[in-house]
Structure 1
Amino acid sequence: MSSHCHPEYFIEIGYVISAETLSLSTSQINEHPEISGSSIRALYNRKSNSILFADLLYGKTTSLGGRLQSHGYETVPSHIHKYPFKDEKYFYGGYCVQKYGSRCAEHFIDVIQIKLPRTLRIGNKEK
């Protein structure tokens, strides 16, 4: 977990899913080939009989972003902010997430990148 200085002040959750893919419709995301390259591939493989991939990304109660958003933290992706605004910077998952997440066939551990707005990371009395 680390901080960012993007002007939107969202918590950014990276699953190695690009902003472009996140902006697709729910049905397109569920069928998109980038699913197999996601850092939560193993989780989806375990739960695919009971949940859609898009629900893991931004479901209100089924995603990390949805849960954080429900507690008052502006988060992308979530059920409120499914994808970053156009031309907005977004950390979708850096080297460690890409290298060691379950997107690689030999890895079974899911990895998620979390980037906090700097104000949240260094201390914010309201949050």
Structure 2
Amino acid sequence: MNDSPTRAPLPADLFDRPDCAGGLVPFRVGDKWTGVVLRCLEEGPRRFSELRVPLHWITPKVLTETLRAMERDGFLTRTAYDENPPRVEYELTALGRSLIDPLNATCAWSRAHLSEVTEAREQYTAR
């Protein structure tokens, strides 16, 4: 016997709204590395080699891909200086900077609920 309430099925066009148009929503915000790059650029422009120091666990290829995607989405600018040796700096745009407060809120939520998430993971693994 099924005691669950009867619910309407999810519509096939659930995400076909103008404000949720296919691949246009910038899910990059929630990807694996954007948050840490945002944090690194929070205080001002940085060179690739500077970013590599705290982000040493990210391969150069993946960091480059992340920076390019963030530039494409308008979160940062890449400025190449005509110098010898060449110098390139990455800097948050106003749009990228607007993500700092949500990032801070997410970090605060994570700190407040870390023990609950850890416990849930342990219970899941024990099953």
**TM-score (norm. length: structure 2):** 0.33
Tell which structure's C-alpha radius of gyration is larger: 2
Asked which structure has the greater RCO (Cα within 8 Å, sep 6+), the reply is 1
**TM-score (norm. length: structure 1):** 0.33
Q: Report which of the two has the higher share of helix.
A: 2
